[in-house]
Amino acid sequence: MLSTVQNPRFLLRQCRHFPPKRRRFHSSTPLFLSQPQTLASTDLSSSPPQSQILTIRDNLLNRRTTAVELAQLALTRLRITEPQIHSFISVSETVLREAEEIDGKIARNEELGPLAGVFVGVKDNICTADMPSTGGSRILENYRPPFDATAVKRVKDCGGIVVGKTNLDEFGMGSTTEGSAFQVTANPWDVSRVPGGSSGGSAAAVSARQCVVSLGSDTGGSVRQPASFCGVVGLKPTYGRVSRFGLMAYASSLDVIGCFGSSVADTGILLHAIAGYDRLDSTSSKHEVPNYTSQFMSISSLESKPLKGLRVGLIRETLDDGVDKAVVSSIVGAASHLEELGCTVTEVSLPSFSLGLPAYYILASSESSSNLSRYDGVRYGSQVGADRLNSLYGDSRAKGFGPEVKMRILMGTYALSAGYYDAYYKRAQQVLYNYGDYIFIYVS
């Protein structure tokens, strides 16, 4: 989500000290199935395999490699790339032990889960048992949850190995990772540039082949935007498709746990693993989870017009004045490519489109003001010593929160105050509910 207080490059100038040489990390060979590579030895000329997850599974079941060998390669890759990328805030200490357990299951001919041997990065605002879960904030610097988020538990139940916790803008409030209290993540394609955010660490980790897939969260574009910046597949599921239990609440009516992968197939497999109803989240959907990979087809079986019959709308308001010419050119180019593949592209108008952004900011800031009130140094968060209770609350929050979070709390508290609730928050809700079928609330 966009920052409200910082010059987008301010923290970059203050915090980033990357070497001037630009390095790129994509490789045509799957990282976890090859020998360790130096950064300079990678190649961007070829596309990654259709599914690293299925390739890993096939290699494990056919005894061409072991989970421990894959884990050692992954950790080696992490040690090589992390000093330049800074994708992870913390790395798991149990990776090799979990890999040994998978090898033991294979030796005993036990059934493997669909994510067995797959290394998964988890955004640091998603709780993981006995691992740091900071939300990218100093106020939770030493917090280790006693439980796994439902999405993380399902990943582990499917055999996935959590390799570490990825960097983010503090509590998901930002679009570059420059709002993190700990570090700034670099874009693997060009370390002088940002990876997007707030799930920038998760996107960069997949892009740099530090993990196979990763989990992020999306409130106003925080999965889709960094996926675009880093050249990976990012998916924001429909609200309620994935349980929010264990996700640190920012704007509860908008927060969604999403997926990153190097291919559509891997992203679909990960979504299938974590989706479904959860009694611990009253907003999770009870609809049956389909097999998202069942309709995938080999490219060789497609016609010259594989998208024939599909209609795509091009929103006129997204191409109006104020949009960068290069962005407009990219959108028009994508539309032309879709037409070449058989689509019918039609320009449509959404007159209420401009209401989405102000409504989003009011609702998100208001909900964050309420949700973040729990971090007071008593219930949650680092505590600052003080003689009076009010001073303890105030000093703990002042020291623990960064400037972006403080600004959004102030904005949200103002919008929810008695004199302005009807003028701001109530009107924003009316926009959401009255025009919800027509407004795409998406910030990028």
CA–CA dist 254, 241 (Å, integer): 12
Whole-angstrom distance, CA of residue 441 vs CA of residue 436: 9
List the catalytic residue out of 92, 137, 198, 207.
198
C-alpha–C-alpha distance, residues 254 and 245, integer Å: 14
- For the chain, state the CA radius of gyration: 22
Distance linking the first and last C-alpha atoms of the chain: 7
Beta-strand (E) ranges in 149-264? 161-166, 213-218, 233-235, 256-261
Q: Which residues on neighbouring strands pair with residue 256, listed in sequence order?
A: 218
Q: H-type helices in 66-135, by residue range?
A: 67-85, 95-107
Residue of 92, 199, 214, 222 with catalytic role: 222
Q: What single letter denotes the amino acid at residue 176? A: T
Helix (H) or strand (E) holding 428: helix 427-434
Q: Is the peptide bond before 329 cis (omega within 30 degrees of 0)?
A: no
User: What are 410's two structure tokens?
Assistant: 């102030």
Has 198 been annotated as catalytic?
Answer: yes
**3-state SS, residue 337:** helix
373 is catalytic: no
Using DSSP, state whether 119 is helix, strand or coil.
strand
Using CA atoms, how far residue 372 sits from 136, 189, 220, 380, in Å, is: 14, 34, 18, 10
Number of helices (H), then strands (E), in the chain: 13, 8
User: Which residues, other chains included, contact 177 with Cβ-Cβ below 8 Å and sequence gap of 6+?
Assistant: 167, 168, 169, 183, 184, 185, 194, 195, 196, 197, 198, 200, 201
Q: Alpha helix (H) ranges present in 108-174?
A: 150-157
- Among candidate residues 3, 87, 92, 123, the one labeled active-site is 123
The sign of the CA dihedral 159, 163, 164, 169 is negative
Q: Give dist(CA 390, CA 419) in Å, integer.
A: 24
90 given a catalytic annotation: no
What residues are annotated to the active site?
123, 198, 222
